[in-house]
Chains A and B, each alone.
Chain A
Amino acid sequence: MEFIELKDMSHVYYSGMKNEYKALDQINLSVRQGEFVAVIGTNGSGKSTLAKHLNAILLPSSGRCLIRGMDTREEENLWQIRQEVGMVFQNPDNQIIAAVVEEDVAFGVENLGVESSQIRTRVMEALRAVGMEHYRKFAPHLLSGGQKQRIAIAGALAMQTKCLVLDEPTAMLDPIGRREVLSTVKKLHEERGITVVYITHFMEEAVKADRVVVMEKGRICFEGTPAAVFTQVARLEKLGLDVPLAAKVADRLRRKGMKLPAEILSDEELAVALCR
């Protein structure tokens, strides 16, 4: 089943004003339930604008955005859509609001009017899912960036969200924090079948997805499996994007006349191919 369906969706900022700007231009994209999709593209390519449509923070200027068949433009769908699609933004400090971790995670659920004993169970369960149960009485500002992002993810899980949309969740984190966040997302995807839309500038993170969508100037310029996308080294570099190091090295070696298998993305794959 398609969880997300974007049909000819466009978004225009400052419509009718002199600084009118078309950020999304007739996007067509479907994301299946349980799929892990990475979105890459340069700054200003429309990635964040796209993300904000997925839980109706922004509404399409034209075309449609359907979440499990529900149109985001119909107001009676809003609560349901926001419950099903949870957002995690780049800066962890901008999305934490309570003074105690468990209260922060509970905030969304409380607003749904869930009974208090149920809230407790859900919050504990969500914290366990992101490996933060020992921190439930902590003050969020004393946590590391990676831990804060996991709290933000827990907040969405407590809402029993079906889909996580993460907009550069690791941009501000150190390597440990980045690994924590990515492995948490991977685990939730694999163990609970959570649908994931993951926006990133880090190609080694995008490699972990089922499918990679490349955006440029408000359009989707190509998409495919990580192996299919990241072997197009020249095309990505022309767009100003990176490719995983091993793929880039393999590409240069091929140009120097070495024979290597087509699908090399990781260091191990390259090492094995070289020693064959």
Chain B
Amino acid sequence: MSIELKNVTYTYMPRTPFERTALHEVSICIKKDEFTAIVGHTGSGKSTLVQHLNGLLLPTNGQVFVEGTDINKKEPAALAAKRRVGMVFQYPEHQLFEESVYKDIAFGPRNMELAEEEVERRVRKAMEFVNLDYEEYKEHSPFQLSGGQMRRVAIAGVIALQPDYLVLDEPTAGLDPRGHKDLLAKLSQLHKQEKIGIVLVSHNMDDVARLADRVILLNQSRVVINSSAKTAFRETKKIRAAGLDIPQVTALLQTISEQGLAVDTDVFQFDEAVEAIFQAAKGAKSC
């Protein structure tokens, strides 16, 4: 159960003066039972990469397989395979267009030519999932909701397609700290309960450290790290060279350790870090 990229290279505007290779021989495997984070600074190739996951971009070289099917072959199985991968772009609320929340979320399922009862069932479920009360909001215009609510409607629209994989490009940008936390908790729940494979594109290394099983780091169009979160964040140099920060928790623990207090710098969860510092400080009253 995976999405596999084999030697994928993508070149924008080939054979013109503007030719630019945005992905260079990328081979990665995104497993359905993993929470995958794709990180990299602006222009590193992240967005180009995720657009290959459901065939929005066609690789210049190489192949993309979803559950073993080459999605860029012209055959019905390829279309079905692409549909397994749901995509939430940056600022998805800009894509809302219908006159009611219900119609907006129902747009995708209706396009799949599902029966109206099934459409309604999916809209209900998707709204319930993103914490929007069905009866209260179904007739609301999506444009009169707050930013955070609009974002949730947009995400519900993708969830209603019932994809096996959900790819989200910076889904929390511009949300306040509570909205940010709620949305990420939802994604984690979606992964654990509904067994949906999550691919999160993010700049926020703290979120990545907390949530991701696997970290894929892109720098200058190439994959430079592809490993478990724990292993990935030991590569402080590579991460900094790629123009990213290490998680704040790690940075704090490293600063404390450099000051001379022997603290475990390998934990990423806030509570674990507090405990590690507490134990270290208790153990060494003078340092």
Interface residues of A (CB under 8 A from B): 19, 41-44, 90, 144-145, 168, 171-177, 201, 204, 240-242, 245-246, 248-249, 252-253, 256, 258, 267-268, 270-272, 274-275
Contacts and interface: CB of A to CB of B under 8 A. Distances in A.
Which 5 interchain pairs have the tightest Cβ spacing? A240-B178, A271-B259, A42-B176, A242-B177, A267-B255
A168 B251 CA distance: 24
A173 B176 CA distance: 15
A174 B259 contact: no
Given A144-B43, A174-B203, A175-B245, A274 B252 contact: no
A271 B261 contact: yes
Interface stretch (B116-124, B142-150, B221-229): B142-150
Interface stretch (B54-62, B160-168, B273-281): B273-281
Given A241-B176, A246-B252, A175 B243 contact: yes
B287 A275 contact: yes
Given A43-B179, A246-B252, A274-B261, A252 B274 contact: yes
Contacts of B251: 267
Nearest to B259: A271
A43 B146 contact: yes
A241 B180 CA distance: 10
Max chain B CB contacts within 10 Å: which of A252, A268, A271?
A271
A52 B193 CA distance: 43
Interface of B: 41-43, 90, 144, 146-148, 170, 173-180, 203, 243-245, 248-249, 251-252, 255-256, 258-261, 270, 273-274, 277-278, 281, 287
23 contacts: A41-B176, A42-B179, A43-B175, A171-B173, A172-B90, A172-B170, A174-B243, A240-B178, A241-B176, A241-B177, A245-B249, A245-B252, A246-B252, A249-B270, A252-B274, A253-B274, A253-B277, A253-B278, A256-B274, A268-B255, A270-B252, A272-B259, A275-B259
B243 A176 contact: yes
A256 B43 CA distance: 44
Contacts of A204: 248
A240 B176 contact: yes
Contacts of A249: 252, 270, 273-274, 277
